[in-house]
Structure 1
Amino acid sequence: MTIKQSAKGFIPVGGVVKPHGIRGEFCIKSYADSPTIFGVVDALYLQNGDTPPKPITVDSWREHKGLVLLTAKGVTDRDQADALRGRTVLVREEDLPELGDDEHYLYQMVGCRVVLTDGSEVGVLEGFYETSEQDTWVIVNEAGTEILLPAVPEFVLDIDLDDEVISIDPPEGLLDLYLHPDPPKKKKPRRPPRRKKPKQS
């Protein structure tokens, strides 16, 4: 799932993945480095597609296997929780807690130039995909080619939001995979079957 355009003044901090159990608890994939954001903001909002965000009252939240499990007022069974699947979880930008020097919100990095360690351009960070294991950045170069980079510390070396530049060291062969894909192999033409000569008596 790529990052969604949120309503003005709101920032996406997660996405509802699926229900958990039978009592209305649901799983959220957090876009923040630390899931504690779900316990410190004044309010959370859910957005379905391009509809206006709707506030929810959080009853409880906890971490579980890389996801955030959350219960909200009015969501009391599995069917109600399942109906929230795919919703974007938002907070008001003004409610976001301050981060440390080495921490960043993903929304802040979208639009940054992405370069290699030697300064050569890779493209622009346009969005991301999230899974339960890791985030994958979507980088688009000048030709419009999408490059997918696993957003793990060994590949992402530096993030400079002031200059809007991200320095990366992708795994060997990753860029070639997207920029120089192997051409399709030509099929060998099939030879017509040989006709047997009739035997002469």
Structure 2
Amino acid sequence: MTHNRSKGFVAVGGVVKPHGIRGEFCIKSYADSPSLFSRVGALFLQDGSKSPQPFTVRSWREHKGLILLKLQGVDDRNRAEEIRGWTVLVHEDDLPDLEEGEHYLYQMMGCRVVLEDGTVVGVLENFFETAEQDTWVIASEEGREVLLPAVPEFVVDVDLDAEVITIDPPEGLLDIYLNPEPPKKKKKRKRPSGRQKAEGK
């Protein structure tokens, strides 16, 4: 899940398209568990940078890798079409409590990322999800991006109070992004002279 510029809200999805004619619509969920949609008091929809609007969840279900939502006040396909591309938010206070040692991704955005010896890799700037795991986007001081699979064997410690994440990346991964080899110059091919062509006939 990602933090939203609207203070106190966290983005948990994005509206993809309407589904059917009764106001149901598909969203791409950023939440680790879709059960979140039945545990929050209200969802908020936001159009760009406008103020989030509250809605009560009538129903939700999983469908082909997406979540189908039915909200009170979105009663037909035309209204569902109007909210295409909007962001789905929840209030921070409505997020479920985590187990000890767990963290929401939005809480880690902006944290310094370091190696176990204290070497600074960069700042955690973003993330994206794949079928296998989350991948973190770390921005180095030089402006390069490092993509790190966010799996337990590579993430050693998260200290939110100090805003520091300690990682142990697989061997060679940082070199790929931070010390790329310069492209090799192509050798120029010698073109045969006109005389050689003539002699070769």
Taking structure 1 as the reference length, what is the TM-score of the superposition? 0.79
Q: How many residues align?
A: 198
Q: What letter matches 2:149 in structure 1?
A: P
* Cα offset, 1:119, TM superposition: 3.0
The aligned residue for residue 134 of structure 1 is 133
Distance 1:172 1:79, change over 3 A: farther
- Find the aligned partners of 2:65 and 2:112 in 1 and give their Cα distance: 29
The aligned residue for residue 95 of structure 2 is 96
Q: What letter matches 1:97 in structure 2?
A: P
Unaligned runs of at least 5 residues, structure 1: none
Unaligned runs of at least 5 residues, structure 2: none
* Cα offset, 1:127, TM superposition: 1.7
The aligned residue for residue 41 of structure 2 is 42
- Find the aligned partners of 1:82 and 1:104 in 2 and give their Cα distance: 34
The aligned residue for residue 169 of structure 1 is 168
- Find the aligned partners of 1:18 and 1:132 in 2 and give their Cα distance: 21
Contact 1:6 1:12 in 2 (8 A): no
1:12-55 Cα distance to aligned partner (Å, 9 max, x none): 22233455566544343433333332222211111222222122
Taking structure 2 as the reference length, what is the TM-score of the superposition? 0.79
- Find the aligned partners of 1:93 and 1:19 in 2 and give their Cα distance: 27
The aligned residue for residue 186 of structure 1 is 185
- Find the aligned partners of 2:192 and 2:175 in 1 and give their Cα distance: 41
Distance 1:181 1:34, change over 3 A: same
* Cα offset, 1:85, TM superposition: 4.1
- Find the aligned partners of 1:193 and 1:85 in 2 and give their Cα distance: 61
The aligned residue for residue 111 of structure 1 is 110
Distance 1:182 1:27, change over 3 A: farther
Query: What is the RMSD of the two structures over their aligned residues, measured on CA atoms?
Result: 3.0
My pick for the range that moved more, 16-25 or 168-177, is: 16-25
Structure number with greater CO (CA < 8 Å, separation at least 6) is 1
The aligned residue for residue 57 of structure 1 is 56
Distance 1:183 1:20, change over 3 A: farther
Contact 1:43 1:57 in 2 (8 A): yes
Describe the SS at the equivalent of 1:196: helix
